[in-house]
Structure 1
Amino acid sequence: MAMVTTDPLIGRLVDGRYEIRARIARGGMATVYLALDRRLEREVALKVMHPHLAEGVEGAAFVSRFRREARAAARLTHPGVVAVYDQGLDGDTSYLTMEYVPGSNLRRELRTTGTLTLGRTLDVLAQVLGALAAAHRKGLVHRDVKPENVLITADDGRVKVADFGLARAVTEVTTTATGTILGTIGYLAPEVIATGACDARTDVYAVGVLAYEMLTGTLPHDGSTPIQVAFQHVHADVPAPSTHADWLPAQVDELVAGFTARDPGGRPLDAGAALEALRRVRLTLEAISPDLLERRADPPAGFVPPSEPAADDADQADDAPPEDDDDAGDELDAIPAGAFTVAAPATTTTTAGQDAGPLSTWFGDNATEQLVERPTVAVAAGAPAARRPRGRRVLGSVLTVLLVLGGGGSGTWWWFAEGPGAWTAVPAGLQGLPLADAQERLATAQLDASTEQAHHDDVPAGAVVATEPGEGERVRKDGTVRLVVSLGVLMVTVPDGLVGASEQDATQALQDAGLEAGRSTQEYSDTVPAGQVLAASQEPGAEVPHDTPIALVVSGGPAPVTVPQQVGRDREEAQAALEELGLQVRFTPDEASETVPAGQVIRQSPENGTRAHRLDTVMLTVSDGPPVVAVPDVVGQRSADARTALQEAGFQVKENKYLGGLLDTVRFQDTQGEAQKGSTVTLTIW
């Protein structure tokens, strides 16, 4: 049962606003309280930094880290991230005000059930990756993803990621000047252990370890000391979860293997990319067998679920939060998760009963499970505890390192042959430097340089484009760094024969020459067939940068026109009007017409309003006037009969009568033989 202590802050009003009501948890850096925000009348989690950490020369670093946590988390607005509301200083009290999350955390759920179902595992991973993706989009890396930092709300079981206390901007240098590595050993990526460098893929590695632990109930790497666990992270792949539960499908093994690839280049670029991969796997599993998501691996051997809540469990009533004992001085802050606690780690002490410091805790005889459940620790030589004299800290660290690395000779060999002592980091700032300067900087770092050349659009000729390994990545101390040196912009010769070629052939010729065809434009031409290139934006044989687009002017053939109405117009007028539009005119033989006067257009092809093109031909048929027909011979006939015969033949009749037409007989007619229909025939009658 936890010891009940009297906390002088309980009941105090911080900064005239936050009324402290109960203590939730206590860590090595801060204590978390349940408080009431009187101004907004809401419950909050108040994280108060231990006053003694702000003392002395190193106090400023603790205060800076404490405030950096506020700034890092305040940049994030996401339902899966514990929100930070406020940060301030009340006298000697530095505090953060955060979202109060009643509930538990993933560590307690694993203690209760041993393992999680496949579906629950994928759900938790998706929510964690969603929160981390929001951080990565803001340029932040969490750096301490572990079950203790995955909070589970009491009402709906949603997941929230807490404790961005180690968060750093991706663009910052992530290795400290002293070589201290911050993180939790069971979840540290190999590159963090080897060089201290990290980026978004470091969080993805920790999520992969988290997935393995939820599925199997154990961490992938085990050892009696932290150095053994670290060695396995660097030199051994994470085992497939199916080795513990053979029913797990290959897709799950591949997902975990991808997240935990020892080479960061083999992992998804960030949490967003990892989330997409996770969703694809889930869709595949649901298609294979929805029942598969309900299966759970057997808990590891020796697992015993808790029979009853311990006195310091986090599911106590909110009005009676646990009074945790003080954590070890080398630990960082505890996790503010509503009303849950983090198990205090085992600590080693000197004969005087004082803490032995970070290194002795790191290399001490702690079990792996204790390492997993402890809060974040400092991992490396020379990480000082805040409350110990500098001389004792240095002496203890040196002795511990000598004991660990020198014992039996094997530790020393590993440290300098394969361990961190055999490696260094590629210097930063090489990109963009002239080759000679970059070689000099590598020589200063006692590294050799090899070179290769490549064209580059932005880096001037003679300057470094990239390095292999990359800047900040690890390289053996006697190794070689390959420098890619810029040849400047690649210049390409514009090929001949573009003009007159088809657009497709010209585009292919540009691609073969290493150029790209720009946006083509169309111009009409009476002489160049449609689809052939009329002109190019660069002259043949010109030297241009490889990314210069070559614009092509392509012929659209003769321009389109609309054929106008010409029926009823005189022959000459119709021909002139059509030729003015660029159309050609051809005439058919004239045709007789009783309705259209001679010389006028009877019909046209194409007809009026038809869409055509310049140089197309329009056929015109012109009237030759009325047809020529035989004229009836009516001489000797009575006038009425003669008139009827001529009119029926299509002629007009004119009569000249003499003596009053006494005998009414046609004596003469002026037209005989043939005549145009409709013409007039004059008759002489007497």
Structure 2
Amino acid sequence: MNAATDPMIGRMIDQRYRVRSRIARGGMATVYLATDVRLERRVAIKIMHGHLADDAAFRGRFIQEARSAARLSHPNVVGVFDQGQETDCTYIVMEYIPGITLRDLLQEHRALTSDQALDILRAVLAGLASAHRAGIVHRDLKPENVLLADDGRIKLGDFGLARAATANTATGAALLGTIAYLSPELVTRGVADTRSDIYAVGIMLYEMLTGEQPYKGDQPMQIAYQHANDTVPAPSASNPAVPPELDDVVRWATARDPDERPRDARAMLDGLAGIDERMSGPRATSVLHPAGTTTVLPLDAAPADTTMLGPRGPLAPPRSPIGPQRSTTSAPRFPPTASDSLETALAPAAGRLAHTTARRRRRGWVLLAVVVVVALVVGVIAWWFGPGPGGNVRVPEVAGKSVSQARRLIEERGLHAASSTGARPDAVVHAGAVSATAPDARRIVTRGTTIRILVSSGPRPIVLPAIVGQPVATVRSELAPHFTLEQLRYRFDGSAAAGTVLAATGTTEAGDDVDLTTVHQYGERMPVRLTVSLGAVPDVVGKSSDAATAALEAVGLDAGQAPGQYSDDVPTGDVIKAILPADPVVKGSTVQLVVSKGPVPITLPDVRKKPIDQAASTLQALGLHVSYPDCTNVLCSFYDWKSSLPVSATDPAPGSTVHKGDTITLDYEQ
């Protein structure tokens, strides 16, 4: 995915951070430039890759970075402002440092000068000392994590692998960090402490001085083997311009035995004190002579600069880790002779030496005059192109400010703000505030250049496509390039097929909701909330209670039990009806099921002593079936026996509970 199609660009995170553009992408996260709309400032927001968000270990390491860096407050450490999690992204909000990384600088210039390398080294050690003092081991020091700001600041960032600086900080089953900067103890034992960071600093110093890493290999394990078994070579072997003092610094920081390194960044920073003077001061010169010879010193030689040594004796004591020791041996004194012939022999040589000295002195004055003139010319040129009329300045960042504030900031830089302003649509800056400048912010221009202020006219209005009744995939593809799509909302609707859009809602600049189906245009990058149909609620009438519950749960609805009802038509245990909640019916809503209790129960009345036909009519009126045997008495054929003979008993007996459709048998005496 490239930056142009990145869905994060333009998104508002946590209702506060508006993502503007991508800065960098790494193995764990992507860093974006964003605007903190609450404080109106630019920030860098680091968002963890979505495919890693479900991994608790990665997520914990990501949050650990925020916690580790937030504990530090130092000019050479990138500040952490905020950390949070929103639906599909975990993020860290950090200080935005416009500029480049040390890796970019090395790729452009290869090797740095000794002074440049020392300046960067001191800044890195100062920030690292703050971390070590707080009990934090960085564990991933490399040029990619050293930021060089446009204004000259040097900052240490990316504490993604940081841990507490205990005596032995284990890395686990796998080595973490970049293999080219891993210390021997990390490679062999998998443990790290503050001295492991010092080793990585020494490798970075070697790379700054030579333009290359000390160890190379086709496979990572080859490089790891060299870290564990070889001694880092002196930088001067690759770059003869490196002074021996810096060779000693690299050797000190990259000792294979951790006990021979500085114990932490503060100890190494203290060890660098005075190294500039030792590097730039006069070098001691040693002149070796065979035993028994006599040396004549020039008259203008400084005793501190020249040492007369006899035959080489036992090995000299080792140098200090930082810089060579200056010799304090005085030149030997030779006793004067009384021979006139010797004085006569030396007189012409002394005259020639005096003449040479005077000539060199005159040449020095001429050289000094030339240097002064060149310095004056350079000073004038520097003034003209610096604070003078010909100097260059950077156009200030005024986006989001009022026009009056923007004019003041522009004029404070020595630039001229045009009297008339322009207008341009802006999806991020609210209408009436400054959107941009022409030339653009942060451009380098000549002092006095006229800067035109462009005022935001609000989001650019865009014609809305057909939304309601359309498939949600089609609507999203048409809206996504122009608007900010928020999380979809779903509800059940019997009038629309599942997956079709039911409604679209937006937000006005005042913060009020607006029905997008009633407007023709809507502001660019403004939020859009789509409501999508889940289809009709399943019809569960006539199903058994268990089957109805399963059908509802399958679509995300809960089944509740309403009071049961008697039904002559629905069998016992089946659903008579489903009571839906008030709109909207969404996933998680509860549908109340009314379950049949069977036919209505009837208490059998007492029809004894009533004529048969009257008793039968009474029972049939209750929905019961009636049966009775025919009269077999011969007399029954001569009269209406059904209306004359009384009922003597019923089956079931009077008072029994029966239901509609049951058969009642009548008994009588013939």
TM range (shorter): 0.3 to 0.5
Structure number with greater CO (CA < 8 Å, separation at least 6) is: 1
TM, length-normalised to structure 2: 0.42
TM, length-normalised to structure 1: 0.41
